[in-house]
């Protein structure tokens, strides 16, 4: 078994959703104190009473709190795992309690928009300067310097069920990677490292688009050949737009790229896959979002990437088509007939 962490300094996790809970349970196996933050006092009371969160038992070493000041002042290492739409506001609340010595390793696979949508038009199109990854939000909103992210094939339910898995800790700082590895690694959870922080973040964000599309193929029962075709073309599309946004093509061939893409594009445990599956069954995007307990980041990402692709002149036929489906300009069946006729380029060297 992995060595135990004998330090009494607690480790923090912000966000008591399925992945935040899974990360907390992993941390608690090697750390005597883990502080898990949930926003509402009611949720904290419910979790503490049942010792369950997101459908799973929580480790005895986990203390649940709704006090961000307590988390910030008690923990040197914090794992923020909240939806991208709430990430900046969370950081604004947490920032007064953070110092340069803190290490933050986030697990959020989405974009933050730092501009009012009303200000976007043909004269001022959406661009990379308007879009932030979560590591960029952390640095903008706090004094924290040592920042990293978690990305990989990390279906929360499988991790909570203690099935084998792996993730990538990415950071510009080797120390952050070592800390993440020491805190999280155990006999069934492997931790790889990467210094390509932005590239790894983009992998986790962009694969959600392809997972939505893969879900539609499953929903229409088009078969595994069609799904493999779609995912392979989706990977190429991820690389093209990822490079335009500052990512390194090599990242997309890693565990955080193709590995995460495979897991989320084939599993009913993936929220984004589920969105696509339900779209193919005839539900509207509004009905699906209203009924989901947790956020599927891919829906928001489709809209953002559709605009960014236009700004940078990158053709992203899969994203464009899914955007039309979500906007009810095309049915799922029409979308797949369109993509089967689309003149995709021959296989190219994406590296």
Distance of CA 275 to the CA centre of its chain: 15
| CB neighbours of residue 146 within 10 Å | 18
Binding-site members are 15-20, 39, 109, 152, 156, 207, 260, 270-272, 295, 297
∠ Cα 20 260 106 (to 5°): 35
Q: Quick one: which H or E segment has residue 35?
A: strand 34-37
Which residues face 191 on adjacent strands?
Answer: 167
Q: Name the nearest CA neighbour of 68 among 112, 38, 100.
A: 38
Q: How far is CA 261 from CA 196, 232, 321, in A?
A: 18, 10, 19
Under DSSP, the state recorded for 32 is: S
Under DSSP, the state recorded for 2 is: P
Half-sphere exposure of 233 (CA within 13 A, CB side): 20
Which alpha helices (H) appear in the chain, and where do they start and end?
18-30, 41-50, 68-74, 84-94, 134-141, 156-160, 174-184, 197-220, 224-244, 260-266, 271-280, 285-291, 297-312, 317-326, 332-341
Q: Is residue 139 among the annotated active site residues?
A: no
Binding-site members for NAD(+) are 15-20, 156, 271
Report d(CA 11, CA 233) in Å as an integer: 40
Binding-site members for sn-glycerol 3-phosphate are 109, 152, 207, 260, 270-272
Binding-site members for NADPH are 18-19, 39, 109, 156, 271, 295, 297
From 207, 227, 243, 300, active-site residue:
207
Q: Which residues are catalytic?
A: 207
């Amino acid at each position: 078994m992995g060595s135990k962490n004998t330090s009494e300094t607690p480790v923090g996790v912000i966000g008591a959703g399925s992945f935040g809970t899974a990360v907390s349970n992993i941390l608690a196996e090697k750390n005597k104190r883990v502080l898990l933050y949930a926003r509402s006092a009611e949720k904290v009371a419910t979790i503490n009473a049942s010792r369950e969160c997101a459908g799973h038992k929580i480790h005895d070493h986990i203390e649940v709190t709704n006090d961000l000041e307590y988390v910030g002042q008690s923990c040197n290492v914090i794992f923020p795992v909240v939806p991208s739409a709430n990430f900046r506001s969370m950081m604004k609340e947490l920032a007064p309690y953070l110092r340069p010595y803190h290490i933050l390793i986030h697990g959020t696979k989405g974009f933050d928009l730092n501009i009012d949508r009303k200000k976007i038009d043909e004269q001022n199109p959406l661009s990379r300067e308007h879009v932030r990854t979560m590591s960029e939000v952390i640095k903008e909103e706090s004094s924290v310097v040592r920042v990293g992210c978690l990305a990989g094939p990390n279906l929360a339910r499988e991790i909570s069920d203690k099935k084998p898995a792996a993730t990538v800790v990415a950071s510009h700082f080797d120390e952050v990677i070592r800390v993440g590895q020491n805190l999280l690694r155990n006999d069934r959870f492997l931790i790889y490292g990467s210094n390509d922080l932005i590239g790894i973040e983009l992998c986790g964000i962009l694969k959600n688009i392809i997972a939505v599309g893969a879900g539609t193929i499953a929903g229409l029962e088009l078969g595994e050949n069609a799904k493999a075709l779609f995912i392979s073309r989706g990977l190429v599309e991820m690389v093209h737009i990822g490079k335009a946004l500052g990512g390194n093509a090599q990242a997309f061939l890693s565990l955080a790229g193709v590995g995460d893409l495979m897991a989320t594009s084939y599993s009913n445990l993936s929220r984004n896959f589920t969105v696509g599956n339900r779209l193919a069954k005839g539900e509207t995007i509004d009905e699906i979002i209203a009924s989901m307990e947790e956020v599927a980041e891919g829906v928001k990402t489709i809209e953002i990437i559709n605009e960014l692709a236009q700004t940078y002149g990158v053709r992203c036929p899969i994203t464009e088509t899914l955007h039309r489906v979500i906007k009810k300009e095309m049915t799922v069946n029409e979308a797949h007939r369109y993509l089967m006729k689309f003149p995709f380029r021959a296989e190219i060297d994406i590296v």
